[in-house]
Amino acid sequence: MLRARIHDGGRIIRQLRPRDGAKSIGLGVNGEIDFSRRTGVRYPREFMFRYYYINRAWIVSPVARRTYRLAATLSLLLCLFLMVWAYMGGFPATDLPLLKFLVFVGALGAATTMVAMEYFLFSFDKSSAFKRLFWFCILLFPPLGPPLYCFTVYSRSDFFKEATPDFFIRTSA
């Protein structure tokens, strides 16, 4: 069986196999992957992963970094809100609509952070297996684990060291 490997800095992102009885795998002119001229199946260089409908820019880009850091902050605020709620023994019934909205926003931030950080951990984290196992165990505690991973590992990863944030890019007049 023929296979093609897509590399990203020495790390295999995805192994491709020919479909529909294709007998060859080649690279096209623009870097796309051509399984066969007979089948006409081509994938651009930046394509989505096989079973995940997420491309790389959604996880490691300056916009994604700001989004996930905001979601992690909302998750921490949800945790703080729940601690205050437990300490005070509840809130007045008049504040219920506002409190429902705050809990919804915090839960949305916690869910976004948890999914994105687990995806980053399993797909892009280049640390040792022991460190990834440790962080996987930390990620199992949703209100605090994913934001902690986001601020300590994700934000300091090698993917962002050479990236220039959008607001530093200036056009010359």
Q: Report pLDDT digits (tens) over 59-99.
A: 888 899 999 999 999 999 999 999 998 899 888 888 889 99
Q: How many distinct structural domains can be found in the chain?
A: 2
Q: Is residue 150 one of the residues assigned to a domain? A: yes
Q: Is residue 142 one of the residues assigned to a domain? A: yes
Q: Where are the alpha helices (DSSP H) in the chain?
A: 62-88, 96-123, 129-139, 145-149
> Does the pTM of the predicted model rise above 0.75?
no
121 and 145 in a single domain? The answer is yes
Q: Is residue 50 one of the residues assigned to a domain? A: no
Statement: residue 128 has pLDDT above 80: yes
Q: Is residue 93 one of the residues assigned to a domain? A: yes
Statement: residue 48 has pLDDT above 60: no
63 and 37 in a single domain? The answer is no
More confident residue, 147 or 60: 147
- Domain hosting residue 127, numbered range: 56-163
Q: Is residue 168 one of the residues assigned to a domain? A: no
- Dihedral of alpha carbons 146, 149, 155, 159, sign: negative
DSSP 93: G
Q: Is residue 170 one of the residues assigned to a domain? A: no
13 vs 172: CA distance, rounded Å: 37
> Among residues 108, 103, 100, 150, which one has the least CA distance to residue 125?
150
Cα–chain-centroid distance for residue 9? 18
